[in-house]
Amino acid sequence: MKFKKLYHWCMSAHDEVLFRNEEDIRVGVNCYALSLFMTESESYSDAFMSNHIHFMVNTYDIQNFSLIFKSRYSIYFQHKYKRKHLCKEASTFFTEIDGPRHRLAAINYVNRNGLHHGRCSTALGYEHSSVNCFFKSELGKKNVEHTLLQKNEIMGYLPLHSNLPDNYSMDDSGMFTRESFTQISQVELLYGSPRSFLYLINRPSSEKWDQEQNEDNNGKEPITLSHIEQGATDTPIKILLDNEYGRYDKSKMSDMDVCKIIDNAYLSQYHKKSIYQLDMDEKRKIATSLSYEYRVSHSQIKRCLAMMF
C-alpha cells in the first residue's frame, strides 16, 4: 500500500520571469489547485515569487504531481507569451520532509518566502502565498469581500474538460481560494497556537532551528534557508537572511512592476505582443530606457526581458 509523503517542491526559471502579472499568478494558483486534485495531493503551504515557486505538498507521487503542474502552466504561458518549453527548461527539485519539527521548519520557511526576498517588511505582508490562511479569526483578520463564483462561472476560468472539486471555491478575481485547498487545520496543529505562529513567523533563522529539528531523531539534516532556496534563486543567502529583519524598500519596483511597464508601454512601440518576439537589438534598446528612466537594475532587466533566452 502506498502512503502519502510530504515534500518541499520548488521550480525556478532563474533568468526568466514565470509570473509577469496578477493574471499569471491567478492561473498559477489554479494550476496548482487542479494538480493537487488530479493527483489526490494536499497543499500545506505555497509561495509564488516572480521567477520561482515553493510548494509543500503531501502526495503519493511527487514526480507525477510535478509533471502535471508544469504541463498545465506551460500550456498557458506558451499560449499567452509564445514561449515554448519554459517549465520544461526550468529547474525543479524536491525533498521529502519527515518529522513534526522538520515539517514545521519547512512550512515556515515557505510561508516566509516573500520576506526573504525583500518583497514585504513582514512575512504577513506578502499576498502571493499561503501565509495569511492560518489563524485568521484569532489574529483578527477579516476576509476580503470577494463574491464567490458559481460553478458555471468558475468553469470559464479553467481549461476545457477540467474536473471541478466540490470543495473548491473561486472568488471573483478568477482564482481558487487558498482556504479551499490548503490543509489549514493540519498546519495550525503544527504551529500549535496563534501566539506560536506569530512568534515563529517572525523569528529570525538561527542554530536554534537546527537544534529543534534534531529532536525528531529521524537521521535527516535540518531544514535551513539554504536548503529551501537551493537552485531556486541566485540571490546570496546572506541577503535573504538580512531581509528577515524587514529591510524592505517600498520604492524598489518588483519584477511584476517592471514586466508591466515592458508589456504595456514598450511592446506596442515594436508592434510585438510578447517579449519573446523581440530581437536582441530591440531588447537592448528597451533595457537602456528602463535603466535610465526607471533606475532598474541590470539583473532585473535581464530577467524581465528574458535576455538570456
Tens digit of each residue's pLDDT (9 = 90 or more) over 290-301: 999 998 999 999
Mean of pLDDT values over 230-259: 86
**Mean pLDDT computed over 255-264:** 96
Q: Which residues of 114-137 are buried (b: 16+ CB within 10 A; e: fewer)?
A: bbbbbbbbbbbebebbbbbbbbee
The cell for 197 is 505562529
In whole angstroms, give the CA distance from residue 194 to residue 173.
29
Q: Which amino acid is at 252?
A: K
Q: Give the span between the Cα atoms of 210 and 278, in whole angstroms.
A: 47
| Average pLDDT in the chain | 92
**Structure-block grid coordinates of residue 140:** 483578527
Domain ranges in the chain are 5-243, 255-304
pTM > 0.75: yes
pLDDT digits (tens, 9 = 90+) for 70-79: 999 999 999 9
CATH classification code of 5-243? 3.30.70.1290
pLDDT value of position 143: 66
State residue 272's pLDDT score.
94
